[in-house]
Structure 1
Amino acid sequence: MEPKKVEDEAFVTLATDDSYSLGALVLGHSLRKVQTSRSLVILVTVGVSADMRSLLSSVYDLVEEVGEIDSKDEVNLTVLTRPELGVTFTKLHCWRLSQFKKCVFLDADTLVLQNCDELFNREELSAVPDVGWPDCFNSGVFVFRPSDETYKALVQFAEDKGSFDGGDQGLLNLFFQDWATKDISQHLSFLYNMNSNASYTYLPAFQQFGKDVKIVHFLGELKPWKYIVSEGKLMKPSESQHSEDHLQYWWDLYMSHVEPHLQFYQDAPYHELAKVRLESPEPVETSVSQDQPVAPGFISRQEAWEKGEIDYLGVDSFENIRRKLDSKINGTTE
């Protein structure tokens, strides 16, 4: 039995092209799967095709086109090494959804694991501290109240003050500058915006609290929909630190709810996928002798790396890694 719909509150996301629309589709299905009682809204720009908008309308209650706002702040975006984030200023349009009294914004690269409708009990601006600088909030998930007045104030502030990172997060943290100290109730738990590499940065905490996570955020340039598929297997690049369980769940939703409807992408990689499973990178082969001592407590080399227990002088030495790379480049085997 579906919960009674709350018409004047909504989860909101944004897509500026067809690529991010894939993330938004999976996000929308993840919200449907946990049976949210709130409306689903997506803001789109001219970069989203008509076919993709039609598909989005099958998941979202409202698909609304907005004009693209670009910070054009090349200096700060260069510091951030993410030049594509200038268009995230377009997120400001969410404050114009005045038909709703309260909303929760979710970036298109987030994934909802458990019902989190209780977020609507929080006030503007409630968000999760950023893991890189906890006195700032991460703008991938936040609670807000739509208001034309706030929208105009944000646009004016953007013109006058700009953003310290060239994107929406720097702008919003400057605008809501007292967030860190004003009201602790506006500091959301990390469970509502967990960095997908948390298992790599603090494995013991992830093992203790990971089961309670409600929203996971695939931060960084490598998004789930950008992974390479080869022979029916989803290849996990060596530089990826996204949790395999969360990646697999994203792809399960994609394959079951999104891919079958991508008829208009017959020639694109999206439609060529079989039922994929994650495939980790091939481990580095070494010539270390069997009697070489192993650090105590190693269950596996992957867990050792996750704990920061890297055997630089032995198995994980530069010489062994270089030997493996040379064999791959030269097409030889050891």
Structure 2
Amino acid sequence: MGAEPHAIVTSAVPETIDARATDDLLAVAAHLDRMAAAWLDSLGPSIRRDGRRVAYVLVGTAEYALGLDVLVRSLRAVTDLPILLLAAGGWQPALQAPNLAVLAVPEIIKQDLEGSMAARFRRTLTKLWTFGFVSLDRLVYLDGDCLVRQPIDDLFDGAGFAAAPDLLSNQPFPVFNSGAFALSPDAALRNALFESLPATPSFDGGDQGILNALLGNDVRWLPIRDNYLRTYEPILPGAARAARVIHYSAKKPWTVVSEAVGDPALLGLDDVWTERLDRAGLMEMVTAWRRSVAESEIAANAALGRVEADLALQRRRINRLMRRVLAGLGLVALLQLALLVAWLFG
């Protein structure tokens, strides 16, 4: 995608960190903040917005590599502002874009969520590092399954915490979706988040429940066009055309398997995402799909083979049982015949 990214990865960062280790969380957050601030300062004052230190912050893992590629590509089509990619769990991305830095961060592990039914949310706590970048005047966070379709730099102009509502939440109170938000970080908020994290429950098993518990009463609501979930389309048909950010929740456009019955009806939005792929990304996705289909076929054939083997075994058992039954019936018939002869000639 152009210029090499400026990597600021450091070996001092572990791959994971326990949410109960508050002092460690704060120490790592301060370390990451210093690294990010030094990188942003190295870009010079021309890259600031109205003199303010700002950045788009993304979080990525190997599973979201294609998603991050598309997201960065879509961002660079509408903005030149800095992008800070937090590479979690030891992932080393190959992304290339101007004014892009890669910062290694630990995955935040909250033990009481490890057994959660919402298993796909367990690693989303890593985005909580965004609250530690207190040297930034403002940041805009985007999940790795987002696509930016229109300029959104104006999100840096506000203050406090801003997010769009989650229209599909099943909670009895208003809930924001944490896949995209704007934030003016400060030390008091950072400390409150990390200090309360061990005891804070999560209604969804991930970061959204935690952040709503902390900020649900202090959120400035953004319009849904700034975080338009893919799953809104059945209830708001055509509204995606006005969306500035499309959030591909829950099914990812780079995956083959559907997660819900209605997924095939939303293929048009998947095509919008796919259009952003370059040839290398498209080939990577096709290769992954072929491998996934092949593995599914192998697994299906193996399962079919096991079923056929089980049926053959059952047939053999039934045949043996039938032979025994027939043999028994033959003996009974012979006995009856013998009794009949004895009665006739006895």
TM-score after normalising by structure 1: 0.64
Counterpart of 2:164 in 1: which secondary structure?
strand
- Residue 37 of structure 1 pairs with residue 80 of structure 2: yes
8 Å CA contact 1:71, 1:166 repeated in 2: no
Structure having the higher helix fraction is 2
Give 5+ residue unaligned stretches, structure 1: 181-185, 229-234, 273-334
Residues 76 and 126 of structure 1, relative CA distance in 2, 3 Å threshold: farther
Cα RMSD over matched residues? 3.0
Counterpart of 2:278 in 1: which secondary structure?
helix
Deviations 1:59-106 (A, max 9, x none): 66111111110223348831xxx2131111111111222342100111
1:15-94 correspondence runs (5 A) = 15=60, 17-34=61-78, 36-48=79-91, 50=92, 53=93, 55-58=94-97, 61-74=100-113, 77-78=116-117, 82-94=118-130
- Residue 224 of structure 1 pairs with residue 263 of structure 2: no
8 Å CA contact 1:10, 1:104 repeated in 2: yes
Corresponding residue number in structure 1 for 2:148: 112
Mapped partners of 1:163, 1:47: distance in 2: 26
Counterpart of 1:201 in 2: which secondary structure?
coil
Letter in 1 for 2:263: S
Mapped partners of 1:139, 1:69: distance in 2: 16
Mapped partners of 1:257, 1:121: distance in 2: 36
Deviations 1:106-126 (A, max 9, x none): 111111011111111222210
8 Å CA contact 1:193, 1:217 repeated in 2: yes
Deviation at 1:259, TM superposition (A): 4.4
Letter in 1 for 2:47: K
Corresponding residue number in structure 2 for 1:95: 131
Corresponding residue number in structure 2 for 1:288: none
Counterpart of 2:167 in 1: which secondary structure?
coil
1:129-278 correspondence runs (5 A) = 129-133=165-169, 135-179=174-218, 186-203=220-237, 206=238, 209-220=239-250, 222-227=251-256, 239-240=262-263, 243-256=266-279, 258-259=281-282, 269=288
Deviations 1:230-249 (A, max 9, x none): xxxxx999641574333112
Corresponding residue number in structure 1 for 2:318: none
Mapped partners of 1:250, 1:57: distance in 2: 19
8 Å CA contact 1:72, 1:166 repeated in 2: no
Counterpart of 1:62 in 2: which secondary structure?
strand
Mapped partners of 1:63, 1:156: distance in 2: 27
Counterpart of 2:107 in 1: which secondary structure?
coil
Mapped partners of 1:219, 1:25: distance in 2: 17
Letter in 1 for 2:206: G
Counterpart of 1:178 in 2: which secondary structure?
coil
Task: State which structure, 1 or 2, has the greater radius of gyration over its C-alpha atoms.
Answer: 2
Deviations 1:23-44 (A, max 9, x none): 111101001112x132111111
Deviation at 1:271, TM superposition (A): 9.6
8 Å CA contact 1:76, 1:164 repeated in 2: no
TM-score after normalising by structure 2: 0.62
Corresponding residue number in structure 1 for 2:48: 6
Mapped partners of 2:273, 2:103: distance in 1: 25
* Identical amino acids, percent of aligned pairs: 26
Letter in 2 for 1:39: P
Mapped partners of 1:126, 1:253: distance in 2: 27
Mapped partners of 1:98, 1:75: distance in 2: 29
Corresponding residue number in structure 2 for 1:292: none
Letter in 2 for 1:192: D
